[in-house]
């Protein structure tokens, strides 16, 4: 058992087909005995914080046909040179399923905008995490600022994250000739 986390196990990386062979996730399943011990069926929206091969992870524990898995990103697999059938070490503790880490820039924007903050608080924890990730995944200050503005627009219903905005200055071909 880990010094910092409540649970630890080693398990193989597996390929999990989602609905059809077209959609395939790369996952690590929790051992059945551990899932039973944690009584995850009584808490279907369980989340965990921990480490996989010493890399921090904050993720949901996803149920499928009586088993539970942790989704592994392609970026994670690439960073560690891992693939299906390789074994990983997982250390974790269950975390609050309602907890959301809000990036500083987004928190400041919400604190300065009473309407946006009220709309934020109406969102589910999952939606908040998705919007927060949109901001936290940006690296440059300009991108962070643009994504904060984007999130505020999403909260107000002015845009959707499912559609891409029109690009300013994009060349559009009209009636046989390019325009700028």
Angstrom distance (rounded) from CA 151 to CA 114: 14
Burial class (CB in 10 A: 0-12, 13-18, 19+), 109: buried
For residue 66, what pLDDT is reported?
A: 85
pLDDT tens by residue, 92-138:
999 887 888 899 999 999 999 999 999 999 999 888 888 988 998 88
For residue 79, what pLDDT is reported?
A: 93
For residue 68, what pLDDT is reported?
A: 93
For residue 19, what pLDDT is reported?
A: 72
For residue 65, what pLDDT is reported?
A: 86
Q: Which pLDDT tens digits describe the chain residue by residue (180 residues)?
A: 557 899 999 999 999 887 766 778 999 999 999 988 998 888 777 899 999 999 999 898 999 888 999 999 998 999 999 999 999 999 999 988 788 889 999 999 999 999 999 999 999 988 888 898 899 888 999 999 999 999 999 999 888 776 555 454 545 555 555 554
Q: Is 63 helix (H, G, I), strand (E, B) or coil?
A: strand
Tell me the HSE value of 64 on the side-chain side, using a 13 A CA sphere: 15
The number of angstroms, rounded, from the C-alpha of 159 to the middle of its chain's C-alpha atoms is 21
E runs forming strands in 19-114: 20-29, 47-52, 55-60, 62-64, 67-71, 87-95
For residue 175, what pLDDT is reported?
A: 54
């Amino acid at each position: 058992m880990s010094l910092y986390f409540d649970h630890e196990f080693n398990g193989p990386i597996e390929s999990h087909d989602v609905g059809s062979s077209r959609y395939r996730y790369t996952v690590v399943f929790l051992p059945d005995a551990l899932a039973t011990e944690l009584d995850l069926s009584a808490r279907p929206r369980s989340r965990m914080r921990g480490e996989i091969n010493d890399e921090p992870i904050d993720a949901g524990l996803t149920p499928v046909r009586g088993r539970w898995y942790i989704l592994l990103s392609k970026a994670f697999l690439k960073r560690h040179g891992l693939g299906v059938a390789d074994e990983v070490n997982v250390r974790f503790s269950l975390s609050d399923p309602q907890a959301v880490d809000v990036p500083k820039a987004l928190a400041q924007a919400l604190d300065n905008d009473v309407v946006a903050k009220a709309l934020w608080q109406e969102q589910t924890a999952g939606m908040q995490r998705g919007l927060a990730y949109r901001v936290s995944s940006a690296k440059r200050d300009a991108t962070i600022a643009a994504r904060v503005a984007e999130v505020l627009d999403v909260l107000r219903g002015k845009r959707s994250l499912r559609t891409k905005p029109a690009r300013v200055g994009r060349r559009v071909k009209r009636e046989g000739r390019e325009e700028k």
